[in-house]
């Protein structure tokens, strides 16, 4: 993720800041259209709104990786037990479709590239944390 990606993401996010309810509803619709099995985990709009608030926090910390990384690790620790790594692809597709829809004409190739870089960084961090936690749990159960 480059400094240009960070600037592009922050500028594009400014265009949707404060629209948590609307963007959250679009995200929920997109996600459940791709992965209906996740409906119990996104059974109401407040959860989708919280996801968008979390996104705002991530965007706000992009320029501070020393703070962002531990925040993403804490997020991984709060992910519900029904969510699996395989769902990350569906979440990523829904997220990108959401951003494309809510940004409209402001969704350009550069914006898509920047958001893809941000999602890939966040996904990698969260997935690594989930794998590590699973390994610790396996060791605990085996002991």
Give me the percent of the chain exceeding a pLDDT of 70. Answer: 85
Q: What is the pTM of this model?
A: 0.80
Could you report the per-residue pLDDT of 51-64, keeping only the tens digit for each? 777 788 889 889 98
Confidence at residue 25, expressed as pLDDT on a 0 to 100 scale: 86
Q: What is the DSSP string of the chain?
A: --HHHHHHHHHHHHTTTT-HHHHHHHHHHHHHHH-GGGGGGG-SHHHHHHHHHHHHHHHHHTT-HHHHHHHHHHHHHHS-TT--TTHHHHHHHHHHHHHHHHHGGG--HHHHHHHHHHHHHHHHHHHHHHHHHHHHHHHHHH-
CATH homologous superfamily, domain 3-142? Globins (1.10.490.10)
């Amino acid at each position: 993720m480059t400094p240009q990606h960070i600037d592009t993401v922050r500028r594009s996010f400014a265009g949707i800041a404060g629209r948590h309810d609307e963007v959250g509803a679009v995200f929920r619709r997109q996600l459940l259209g791709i992965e209906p099995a996740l409906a119990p985990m996104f059974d109401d709009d407040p959860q989708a709104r919280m996801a968008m608030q979390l996104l705002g926090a991530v965007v706000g910390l992009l320029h501070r990786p020393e703070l962002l990384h531990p925040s993403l690790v804490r997020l991984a620790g709060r992910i519900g037990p029904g969510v699996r790594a395989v769902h990350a692809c569906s979440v990523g597709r829904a997220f990108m479709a959401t951003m494309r829809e809510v940004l409209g004409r402001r969704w350009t190739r550069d914006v898509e590239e920047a958001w893809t870089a941000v999602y890939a960084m966040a996904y990698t961090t969260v997935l690594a944390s989930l794998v590590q936690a699973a390994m610790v749990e396996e060791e605990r159960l085996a002991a």
